[in-house]
Amino acid sequence: MSFTLAIVGRPNVGKSTLFNRLVGKRLALVDDQPGVTRDLREGEARLGELRFTVIDTAGLEEATDESLQGRMRKLTERAVEMADACLFMIDARAGVLPADEIFADILRRKSAQVILGANKAEGRAGEGGYVEAWSLGLGDPIALSAEHGEGMFDLLQVLRPLVEAKGAEAAIIEEAAPETDVDVNEDDEADTSVRMPTADRPMQIAVVGRPNAGKSTLINKLLGEDRLLTGPEAGITRDAISLPFDWEGMPVRIFDTAGMRKKAKVQEKLERLSVADGLRAVKFAEVVVVLLDAAIPFEQQDLRIADLAEREGRAVVVAVNKWDVEDHKQEKLKELKESFERLLPQLRGAPLVTVSAKTGRGLDRLREAVERAYTVWNRRVTTAQLNRWLTGMLESHPPPAPGGRRIRLRYATQVKTRPPGFVVMCSYPDKLPESYKRYLVNGLRDAFDMPGTPIRLHFRGQG
């Protein structure tokens, strides 16, 4: 008997999206025996080296004859009975809703083995809901993004012992298949192990910037002169166009916003379109290259998109283009760095690279910066290292004692990567001043070599 995981939760939290990610194209069977499990989809899941059966309880929206709640309850109860464990998903963007509580009750009552997943946790919008998920009393939530494939490593870590305990025959295969989502060699003791992109899972890059910054020129240069981006293929639509290529040994997919933009005719429409494209590109990307025109750097539009990339939790690299026509390079660079620090403090330490898309100069340094930003974005720090670090930070600068009550920071742990996210257990988390939080974030950056990447630090009260 293979290990069976049921994905449960109210409609719209992302169950099907996760199901599809775990099962991929390997959907084994849809059990359509009349009256039995019409609503339960079943498939063979792969996660890292694990193989198991996954049941999806989605499809409740089509409820007609019975109340949604009644059906939801029945379906969930049936799934719980069939499964060895339940992944209970909530929507981190929506937070914990009353409907979620109903599920929590069912799961508690059935005393099922529960894994709590806070989905849609990519970007900043999910942070509140993620922290709220603790209040369900179902253990530590895993921050997931079913859509972007984030949190899969954490899910694997939690599932592995359960699958192993079941001793499911052939559930665990020694070698990870190439298309697996998670690097199973990542060992908890290895602090800097990062799964680098492969041909099957290339690094997703977006080049964003205002019109005329040189995006098309840059992408064409990277792809090779003969590859015409806006090419003759009919019907280049406004949908995502992403181009796979090998960037000197690094498999990447680059999201083309420039090509789309060329379709626009009117200048003002063009501006609007490029912002919308930029937004979409940021959502798609793992690494966002903000391309500036050296002659007019850090315009409002550039700042907005860089800020958005930070808020969405992407790795950011700033590239200053048209460096070939810059006369006073030394002074200009100094000026640029100052503006960068002043205008985008939230991206402290992010790389700034000068390039010429036209001549190709600096593109090797851009590649290096992109690879490094990606590595930092994926960084995982062990709990032991974190707590040694925290002790040192507390000693050299103890937290304040508002109203005479000292805020105690007890324990820190990394809860996610891409970008790195941490939780610190503490007393009176609401009282901790912003300045102290910044002290800790900056300390984390320095101690664990994480410049430039967005760092998420949450403070959670105990009891």
- Binding site for GTP, by residue number, is 9-16, 56-60, 119-122, 209-216, 256-260, 321-324
Stretch that binds ligand GDP, among 167-175, 212-220, 231-239, 310-318 (CB under 6 A): 212-220
Nearest distance in Å: CB 150, ligand GDP:
7
Structure tokens at 395: 């000693």
Say if CB 367 and CB 197 are below 8 A apart.
no
Q: State the binding string over 136-175 for ligand GDP (x if CB under 6 A, else -).
A: ---------xxxx---------------------------
Say if CB 8 and CB 87 are below 8 A apart.
yes
Nearest distance in Å: CB 7, ligand GDP:
8
Task: Return the residues of window 365-384 that contact ligand GDP according to CB under 6 A.
Answer: none
- C-alpha 204/C-alpha 198 separation (Å) is 11
Q: State the binding string over 71-110 for ligand GDP (x if CB under 6 A, else -).
A: ----------------------------------------
The annotated binding site is made up of: 9-16, 56-60, 119-122, 209-216, 256-260, 321-324
To 5 degrees, how large is the angle CA 202–CA 46–CA 78? Answer: 135
Nearest distance in Å: CB 145, ligand GDP:
4
- C-alpha 73/C-alpha 106 separation (Å) is 8
User: Coil, strand or helix: which one is 147?
Assistant: coil
Q: State the binding string over 223-252 for ligand GDP (x if CB under 6 A, else -).
A: ------------------------------
Task: Return the residues of window 306-345 that contact ligand GDP according to CB under 6 A.
Answer: 321-322, 324-325
454 CB-contact burial (10 Å; exposed 0-12 / middle 13-18 / buried 19+) = buried
**Among 463, 174, 436, 148, CA closest to 315:** 148
User: Coil, strand or helix: which one is 428?
Assistant: coil
- What backbone torsions phi and psi does residue 143 show, to the nearest 5 degrees? -80, 120
Instruction: Note whether 17 binds ligand GDP by CB under 6 A.
Output: yes
**Among 459, 460, 454, 442, CA closest to 124:** 454
- C-alpha 27/C-alpha 86 separation (Å) is 19
Nearest distance in Å: CB 212, ligand GDP:
4
- C-alpha 261/C-alpha 276 separation (Å) is 10
Bridge-based pairing of strands 421-426 and 409-416 is: antiparallel
| Interface with ligand GDP (CB under 6 A), residue from 5, 6, 13, 273 | 13
Nearest distance in Å: CB 185, ligand GDP:
25
Bridge-partner residues for 107, per DSSP? none
| Interface with ligand GDP (CB under 6 A), residue from 4, 5, 15, 370 | 15
Task: Return the residues of window 105-124 that contact ligand GDP according to CB under 6 A.
Answer: 119-120, 122
- What backbone torsions phi and psi does residue 398 show, to the nearest 5 degrees? -65, 150
| Interface with ligand GDP (CB under 6 A), residue from 87, 159, 252, 258 | 258
Nearest distance in Å: CB 124, ligand GDP:
12
Task: Return the residues of window 381-410 that contact ligand GDP according to CB under 6 A.
Answer: none
Question: Which spans of this chain sit near ligand GDP (rule: CB under 6 A)?
Answer: 11-17, 58, 119-120, 122, 145-148, 209, 211-217, 258, 321-322, 324-325, 356-358
